[in-house]
Amino acid sequence: MTRRALDIPSPAQGADEDGFTEITALVAAAREDVARAVNRGLIDLYWTIGQIISRRITRDGWGKGTVQALAEHLARTQPGSRGFSAQNLWRMRQFFETWRDAPELSALVRELPWSANLHILSRTKRPEEREFYLRMAVSCGWNVREVARQIDAGAFERAMTSPAKLSTSLREVHPGAHHVFKDLYSLEFLGLPVPHAEADLHGALLRNLGRFISELGRDFCFVGSEYPVQVGNQDFAIDLLFFHRGLTCLVAFELKVGRFAPEHLGKLSFYVEALDRDVRKPHERPSIGVLLCASKDDEVVEYALARTASPTLVAEYQTMLPPKAVLRAKLQELYAHLAIPPSAED
């Protein structure tokens, strides 16, 4: 009889699928380790070259001609090597001199690829701005494209000039929440028309969930869309539900495509209460509600949040990147208010 007639599984069919999965995971992890090691080695090389060039400029008077000659020498003696143009050699010097006096930050730069470091180095003006993007890129795991997008979106300016609008209850229950949430989320990657409906916003967020989570920040884990909760004999649905690993709590997002109105908080608070009573697990902390709207009046938001007993916040989303000139002007106003002198590059 044939193998088919006896219905005997082939060796491949009878193989240990769990074993395959285990080995596949090991291979993937090893590749990631190798990639990280190669990247750290490359950054260490660029750091050392920058250090030598910086020292020789100070000690021996190296200038543009010498660095150009060095680039040509490397091209002759190291065929096939890339990234050693005169321009890149000057960048290595700038890279070293920017971070040499900040040991903690100089360790972080080795976690990012060179191109991401170059975005931060060349497209930011103040030391605190560079530090902001460096720390966020490492902690949130931003790739090169996301680093560039966050700089284009003025993440630093937004964080400095528009802190998140949190209820008093949220500040008390989750003291670290102001580091997690934003006042303004840039969702230009959704490609939404103007105007658009809540269904359009909801669907676009789900189709671009990975990028939305990158914009939300570190430790957000997606739980569900139109997450069902039942209270009494009535069924309700939360637009988007996440879990935040750092805060150890559920985070409910309610979407509004119009202007914020105080009555919106009532429904959101209801959802937060339902989550805490019927969904939250014993080891988890109280849930948080986020009202994400197209526009808001900050004074109205302040009044609405002042008396609510629910840990909630109100944030705005934009479907187009805000003009960097406007954001930078706001930042300069803040610096002037805080009596911080302008940088040489401003």
CATH number for the domain that contains residue 257: 3.40.1350.10
Q: Is residue 3 part of a domain?
A: no
Q: Are residues 181 and 267 in the same domain?
A: yes
Q: Is residue 4 part of a domain?
A: no
Residue reference for tokens 């005997």: 8
Q: How many domains does one find in the chain?
A: 3
pLDDT of 2 reads 47
Q: pLDDT of 270-326, one tens digit each? A: 999 999 999 999 999 999 999 999 999 999 999 999 989 999 999 999 998 766 676
Q: Which domain, by its residues, includes 141?
A: 112-152
Q: Is residue 332 part of a domain?
A: no
Token digits of residue 71: 């680039």
Q: Is residue 341 part of a domain?
A: no
The tally of CA atoms less than 13 A away on the side-chain side of residue 157 is 21
Q: Are 125 and 98 in contact (CB under 8 A)?
A: no
Q: Are residues 133 and 255 in the same domain?
A: no
Write down which residue in 123, 152, 181 finishes a domain: 152
pLDDT of 188 reads 92
Q: Are 286 and 276 in contact (CB under 8 A)?
A: yes
Q: Are residues 170 and 294 in the same domain?
A: yes
Q: Is residue 268 part of a domain?
A: yes
pTM flag (> 0.85): no
Q: Are residues 102 and 120 in the same domain?
A: no
Q: Is residue 345 part of a domain?
A: no
Q: Are residues 289 and 275 in the same domain?
A: yes
pLDDT of 163 reads 85
> Is the bond preceding residue 195 a cis peptide, omega within 30 degrees?
yes
Residues whose CB is less than 8 angstroms from the CB of residue 256 and which lie 6 or more positions away in sequence, other chains included: 198, 264, 291, 292, 293, 294
pLDDT of 267 reads 95
Query: Which spans in the chain are helix H?
Result: 3-6, 17-60, 64-77, 86-99, 103-108, 114-123, 127-140, 144-152, 155-161, 168-173, 198-207, 209-216, 264-278, 298-306, 324-337
pLDDT of 257 reads 96
Q: Are residues 142 and 282 in the same domain?
A: no
Q: Which residues of 256-295 are buried (b: 16+ CB within 10 A; e: fewer)?
A: bbeebeeebbeebbebbbbbbeebbeeeeebbbbbbbbbe
Q: Are residues 237 and 119 in the same domain?
A: no
Q: pLDDT of 219-259, one tens digit each? A: 999 999 999 999 999 999 999 999 999 999 999 999 999 99
pLDDT of 168 reads 94
Q: Is residue 2 part of a domain?
A: no
Write down which residue in 109, 140, 171 finishes a domain: 109
Q: Are residues 92 and 81 in the same domain?
A: yes
Q: Are residues 219 and 306 in the same domain?
A: yes
Stretches where the chain sits below pLDDT 70 are 1-18, 322-324, 326-327, 330, 333-346
Q: Are residues 55 and 136 in the same domain?
A: no
Alpha-carbon distance 66 to 48, whole Å? 17
Alpha-carbon distance 328 to 337, whole Å? 14
pLDDT of 196 reads 95
Q: Are residues 134 and 200 in the same domain?
A: no
Write down which residue in 44, 79, 109 finishes a domain: 109
Q: Is residue 333 part of a domain?
A: no
Q: Are residues 180 and 307 in the same domain?
A: yes
pLDDT of 10 reads 53
pLDDT of 212 reads 96
- At residue 292, what are phi and psi to the nearest 5 degrees? -105, 110
pLDDT of 158 reads 84
